[in-house]
Amino acid sequence: MVSPDSVLEPANISAESLDDLARQSASLESAEPHEIIRFAVERYGNKLTMATAFGPEGCAIIHWLASIAPQTYIFNLDTGYQFQETLQLRDTIANRYGVNVVLEQPETTVAEYERIHGGPLYRTDSNRCCGDRKIAVIGRVLTRFDAWMSGIRRDQSVDRAAAAIVGWDTKFGVVKISPLANWTKAKVWDLIIRENIPYNPLHDQGYVSIGCFPCTRAITTDDDERAGRWSGTAKTECGLHVRED
Ligand code: SF4
């Protein structure tokens, strides 16, 4: 079992390298997302990857990456519990940008997993389910890379408020780059509308943050942005973006 709070491998990095990342991050605080993406591509080349759940932020980054470095390895954690609309968006993005987002899957199918555990674990142990079907998978993928990019924003939640633009990801032992850390939800949606970037149609039905269908619900405009995830439980993150330090 892989807990969302597990550190998957020793996170060895020198103090000097940490200082270098901190300096780099500080120098990019006022940079635009596409400039941060360009920095990431130039610094890490084919050792850079990007993870996306096809949220609006991920779609925006793909929009920029498609012109800056379309060969970048982009992947989605395909838990087997994603909405059909999410998987269709992958095809829409491929048609629009010629970018193939690789579906990275757990070792077991949903049917096998539920048979092993006597039913769906998302009902009884969602931490373990996320650990097995997300954290273990991204941990496996990131062993092939030096840096990964994600679409998190600081204003999404308390957990994400301290996200560095460039920082060391202690959980996975790689550099983590967040080009949209300083952006707001409004700025992301302005870009999507202006550039006609494809997005998940569920956003038009009250779904704000979209993950697996058993753990996502539509919310009202008064709710917190991530209130629709693991609703009714204390869980707020699957563990990908939880700081270890
Ligand atoms: S979000 Fe829900 S269904 Fe998806 S991996 Fe986590 S617990 Fe399982």
Write down all domains in the chain, each with its CATH number in brackets: 15-215 (3.40.50.620)
Residue nearest to atom 4 of ligand 1 (CA): 212
| 130 labelled catalytic | no
Residue nearest to atom 6 of ligand 1 (CA): 130
- Measure Cα distances from 88 to 70, 83, 158, 204, 208 in Å: 20, 9, 31, 15, 18
Q: Cα dihedral sign for 122, 126, 128, 129?
A: positive
Report the distance separating Cα 28 and Cα 179, nearest Å: 9
* pLDDT the model gives residue 243: 56
The preferred substitution site among 3, 109, 123, 215 for testing ligand 1, maximizing ligand atoms within 8 Å of CB, is 215
Report the distance separating Cα 88 and Cα 125, nearest Å: 28
24 CA to centre of ligand 1 in angstroms: 34
Going residue by residue through the chain, which has 245 residues, state the pLDDT in tens, using 9 for 90 and above. Answer: 444 444 444 457 888 899 999 999 999 999 999 999 999 999 999 999 999 999 999 999 999 999 999 999 999 999 999 999 999 999 999 999 999 999 999 999 999 999 999 999 999 999 999 999 999 999 999 999 999 999 999 988 787 888 999 999 999 999 999 999 999 999 999 999 999 999 999 999 989 889 999 998 877 666 676 676 767 676 777 767 765 44
* pLDDT the model gives residue 98: 97
83 CA to centre of ligand 1 in angstroms: 12
* pLDDT the model gives residue 226: 65
- Measure Cα distances from 186 to 8, 60, 110, 202, 223 in Å: 35, 13, 36, 17, 16
Binding pocket residue ranges, ligand 1, CB within 6 Å:
79, 81, 122, 126, 129-130, 133-134, 211-212, 214-215, 238
Residue nearest to atom 8 of ligand 1 (CA): 129
Contact 117, 109 (CB under 8 A): no
- Strand-pair category, 174-177 with 166-169: antiparallel
174 CA to centre of ligand 1 in angstroms: 24
Report the distance separating Cα 198 and Cα 63, nearest Å: 9
Of the candidates 59, 130, 215, 238, the residue annotated as catalytic is 238
Q: Token digits for 180?
A: 């949209």
Widest pairwise Cα distance in the chain? 51
132 CA to centre of ligand 1 in angstroms: 9
